[in-house]
Structure 1
C-alpha cells in the first residue's frame, strides 16, 4: 500500500511509502493523523492549505460485509474543526485495489480550472470537467460512466459543492452505479469544490483485491464474523425495515425531532414509519425494493429503493431514518412520497439531508415556509440549487440560517446540525453531540440502546464515552455501524481479521485502542484550531426549553461534559 498525493494546482502527483507512524491506522484515524501532521489547524478550510483525504479503512478491500466504507477527511468549513465523513459504495474498495492507503488532494488552483481526476494503475491524469459543471450528481455520474466505462468507481460533487456551500457532501456511486452514497457531513463537498475538482474517477481494470498475509486465518476470522452478523436478531430487522425502523422507536421514547425540535413526538409518525414504508414498497413492487446493499458483499442490506406509485421509476435510493426525521417530522411532513422527493432533490444537489432538513426547520420558524408544506420545502431546495441569495443562506446550513433570520431554536453543536435524535430525550447522545470533535453526529456515538434511562442525566458520560471510542474505531476500520452486529458480539474478531490481513500482532482490545488514539488526534487538532471546553456544549435553549411529551431539558452538567475524555 502507498500514499498517493495529488496537487490540484500544479496538476501533478506523487506516490510515496507509508510513514511508520501512519502504518497501523486507517480510515478516520489515518485521516486525523495526516491532518494533524500536515495541515495548519488555523487554516482557511476553503484555502490552499487545507487537504482533502480519502482513506479506506483497515479492513476495507476484502468484501467483508459492511466493512468496505471510505472515510473522507479535512478541516470542516462548517465546524471550523477536524472532520471525517464516511460513506458506503465503491470508492473505498476500489482505492484499495490500486494499493492506495490514502489519497491526498493538496493545494488549490488559482483559477476556476475545473477538473476530473482519473486514477488508474498508470497513475493520475487530469481531464477537463467543463462538460459536467452545473450538473446534478445523477446526470454527472451517468455522463462520467459513459465517458470512462461502467466498471469505474466515482466520487463527485453536485452544484452545492461547486458553490462551496457548507452543507455539501461528496457522493459515491454504489454497486448499481447510482451516486447515492454521500459522505454528507461537515461540508467536505465544499472543500472538494474549493480545489475545483468535480469528480474523482477510479479505474481498477485488471487489478485484484489487496494481498492477505495469512489466508487460512483470514478465512476462519471471516467465517466467525459472518456467522455472528447472521445470528444477530437486529440483522433481520434491518434487512426488512432498514433504518426507518427507528421512527417508531424514537417517537415512542419522545426523541423524534418534530417541527424544528419543538417536540419529541409526531402525531403522524405511523404514516412515515418503517412499517408503512415497507408496506408501501411491497404494494408498489417493480423497482421498489425493501432491502438493498450499498456495498457489494453486504449481507445485512439495510438500504432500500423507493419507486413511484406505479413501481416503474425510482424516486430515491435509499430513504433512511435520518432523512425521514429531518425532512419529515422535523418539517411537519407526513407523506413518504414528498419526503422521498425532497431526498432525491437534495441528493442531486449534493447536500446533506440532515443539515438541510434542520436548516429548513429553522426557516419554517422564521416564517419562510409553513410546517407541513412539502411543496414549499421543495421550492426552497430549488433556491439552493439555483444559488439565489436565499438558497445560499439555506445551503450554508442550520447555524448560518438561524443567524441570518434571528432564530434562537437552532439545533446544532459545533455549528453542525443535529441528527434525528433529540438530545434532551436521549441524553447520552446529547453528550456525544456536545463533546465529539466532529460536532453533532449520531454516527460518532449513538446511545439509544444503552442500558441507562435516556432522560436521566446521570451515567450518560460513561455510555457516551464508550460509544464514541467504539465508533471512532469502527470508522477507522472502514466499518458500517451495522458491522457492530458481528464485532460487538466478540471484539476478538477485529484483532483476528487485522492480524490475518496485515500481519500485525494486535490484541482483543485493538478496536478500543484504535478509537482512543483517533479521538486523541482529533481533539488535539481542534485544540490547536482554538477549540476550548466551551465548544463542548449544546445550545443554551436546550437547557431551558422543555421537550414534550416528557418535558425534559438537557441538564447534563458542564462538569460531566468536561470529564468525558479525562480518563
Structure 2
C-alpha cells in the first residue's frame, strides 16, 4: 500500500481526486493511520460537519492479503456525536478491496460547494465522480440493489442511509458483505454524518484487474499464517463457540456474570435472556431453513465466521444474525425478548444507517421518559421509522441517547462523552467502566474490553467486582486494542489467545514475514501506545480534560442486582491509565 487517494469535494471546478505517495504514513495501517492523519491534519476544535474535518478510510497493515481474518476497515474522523477523535471499525469487503488497489488510505476532505449527492467510483485507474440525486433518502438495501444492477456484485459498496444524509450524530457508513448486503457498519460516533457533509452518498470500489498483496517473505508468511489459522480453529472460543453461536454466545455468559444491563440498566440479570441467547437464535435459524449456525464470515478470509443470517417465519432473509450488542441494545436494555422484533430493528438500523448500540440506548431513554412503555417492540420500531421519514422527532432520535435525554430531562442516560455505553454494566465489570471513562473514543467497549480478564482467565489480574488495579486491566486492553485495530485483524483474535497463548506470537510472525519489519510483543504494544497518545493529545487540544473522564451518576449511586454493586473505582485510577499509556515511547 504505497499511495493515498485524496478526494477534495470542494476543489475549484468540482470534486477532484489526487493520488499521492503514502510518504510519512508508510508504516501505518488501520486505526494508526486514521488517528495519525487526524492528529496531523485536522484542527481538533473544528466543526465535525464542517470543511476542516476529514473522513479517512484505512485498511489494516495486513489488509489485501491472504492473512486469516485480516480484512477489517478503520474509519476515522472527528466525531459529530462526541466531539472527540473517532475510529470506527467495520467488517465487510472494503478493507481488503482498498488495500488491493494499493491505497493505505482514502481521505475525503473539503466542503461540497453545490447541492446534490455524489457517487465516487474507485478502481485500478483512479477515481471518478457521478451525480446520484436519484438515491436521495434511499435506504442502504435499495441503494445496494441499484449499485449491483449498474456495477455488478463483484464490487464493494460503502454508503450512507437517510441518517447520514441528514448529518445525524448517530449515523453510520454501511459496508457490503460477501453477499453484497449492507450489513457491516462503521457505526460508532457518527461517521456517516461526516461522509454526508462531504456530499457523498455512496462509494463503489472495483478491484477488477488487481491481485492480493504479496508477502516479503512468502514462505515464512505462509507457515506463520497456517499456524495462526490452526490456533484460531483449535481455540474453544474462536474455533467452537463463536462459529456455533456468533457473538450471541455472550448473552448468557454476561447475564450469568450479572453484568447484563437490562430494563434500562436497572438490573444486571434478566430472566428472559434465554429467549435471545445464542442457542435460541441458532435453533430459530434451523427451524426457518437458515444456515443453522453462525458460519458466515463478515469478509473474505475470515475463519472465525461469527456472523450469519436471520430469516422470518416464512424463510425470507431479514438481516444478518443479530450480534450480542444488538440483542442487548434492542432487546434486554429495552425489555424486548422477541427475536423477530429485534431482527426487524437491526434491519432498520442497517438500512437507515444507524449505530445499533446508540439507537437501542436512545429508545431505552425514551422509555424512561415515558414516550413508550418498557418492552414495547412495535413502538420502538415506529420510532426507528421516524428517522427514515426525516421528521423532527426522527432527527432527534437519530442524534443519540445524550441528545434525547437532554430533550426529555432524563438523568439516567448511559453515556460517556456523548456516546452510549455498550452491553456490559460498569458496576459489575469495573475494568470496562474504567475503559468507558478514559477511552479517547467515549464509551466504547471495543476500545479496551476487560471481559476476557474478568470471565475467561483462570487467574484474572483482578476480579470483575474488585476496585483495586482496574486501571491496569483497562490500560493493557486499551493498548492491545489500539494495536490490533491497526493491523486489520479482527479483535476476536484476542479471545483465541486465552486458551491458545501462542496465537499472538503467530500473529507477530505473520506480520513480520508479510511486511519485512520485525514485530515483537514490545513493538506491537508500543504501536498501540503511540496511537493512544495521539488520540489523547487530539482530545486535549479539542478542549477535553480529565474532568470529562466520568461515568453517569447512576452507576455510582444505584446498586445493581444481583451483586448490589456500584461503580466505586477511585477516580485517581483514571489518571493512572493515562500515565501508563504515556510512560514510554513517543507519538511519532
Matched, 1:540 2:543: no
Q: Which sits farther off after the overlay, 542-551 or 431-440?
A: 542-551
Q: Do the aligned partners of 1:494 and 1:511 also contact (CA within 8 Å) in 2? A: no
Give the SS at the match of 2:294.
Answer: strand
Q: Do the aligned partners of 2:167 and 2:194 also contact (CA within 8 Å) in 1? A: yes
**Partner residue, 2:424:** 421
Cα separation, 2, equivalents of 1:276 and 1:19? 51
The equivalent position to 1:501 in structure 2, one of 514, 533, 537, is 514
- Deviation per CA, 1:31-69: give whole Å up to 9, x if none: 111001100000000000000000100011113222110
Matched, 1:43 2:52: no
Deviation at 1:402, TM superposition (A): 0.3
- TM-score when scaled to structure 2? 0.94
Q: Do the aligned partners of 1:60 and 1:69 also contact (CA within 8 Å) in 2? A: yes
Q: Which sits farther off after the overlay, 496-505 or 555-564?
A: 496-505
Give the CA RMSD over aligned residues: 1.3
Cα separation, 2, equivalents of 1:475 and 1:161? 24
**Partner residue, 2:7:** 6
**Partner residue, 1:510:** 523
Q: Do the aligned partners of 1:180 and 1:318 also contact (CA within 8 Å) in 2? A: no
Q: Do the aligned partners of 1:77 and 1:166 also contact (CA within 8 Å) in 2? A: yes
Deviation at 1:216, TM superposition (A): 0.8
**Partner residue, 1:381:** 384
Aligned length: 565
- Deviation per CA, 1:237-281: give whole Å up to 9, x if none: 110011101110111111112122121111211111111111111
Cα separation, 2, equivalents of 1:401 and 1:551? 28
Structure 1 pair 264/357, CA: closer, same or farther in 2 (3 Å)?
same
Cα separation, 2, equivalents of 1:436 and 1:482? 19
Q: Do the aligned partners of 2:282 and 2:292 also contact (CA within 8 Å) in 1? A: no
Deviation at 1:360, TM superposition (A): 0.4
Q: Do the aligned partners of 2:290 and 2:310 also contact (CA within 8 Å) in 1? A: no
Unpaired runs of 5+ residues, structure 2, are: 454-459, 581-588
Structure 1 pair 421/448, CA: closer, same or farther in 2 (3 Å)?
same
Deviation at 1:97, TM superposition (A): 1.1
Q: Do the aligned partners of 1:85 and 1:184 also contact (CA within 8 Å) in 2? A: yes
**Partner residue, 2:464:** 454
Deviation at 1:492, TM superposition (A): 2.7
**Partner residue, 1:206:** 209
The equivalent position to 2:536 in structure 1, one of 519, 523, 537, is 523
Cα separation, 1, equivalents of 2:275 and 2:508? 44
Unpaired runs of 5+ residues, structure 1, are: none
Give the SS at the match of 1:278.
Answer: helix
Deviation at 1:494, TM superposition (A): 3.2
Q: Structure 1 segments of 4 or more deviating over 3 A?
A: 286-290, 485-488
**Partner residue, 2:258:** 254
- Deviation per CA, 1:425-479: give whole Å up to 9, x if none: 1000100110000111111111122113211111211111111111111100012
The equivalent position to 2:220 in structure 1, one of 209, 214, 217, is 217
**Partner residue, 1:481:** 491
Q: Do the aligned partners of 1:242 and 1:320 also contact (CA within 8 Å) in 2? A: yes
- TM-score when scaled to structure 1? 0.98
Give the SS at the match of 1:564.
Answer: helix
The equivalent position to 1:71 in structure 2, one of 70, 74, 84, is 74
Deviation at 1:84, TM superposition (A): 0.3
The equivalent position to 2:29 in structure 1, one of 26, 31, 34, is 26
Deviation at 1:378, TM superposition (A): 0.5
Give the SS at the match of 1:328.
Answer: helix
Matched, 1:277 2:281: yes
Deviation at 1:330, TM superposition (A): 0.6
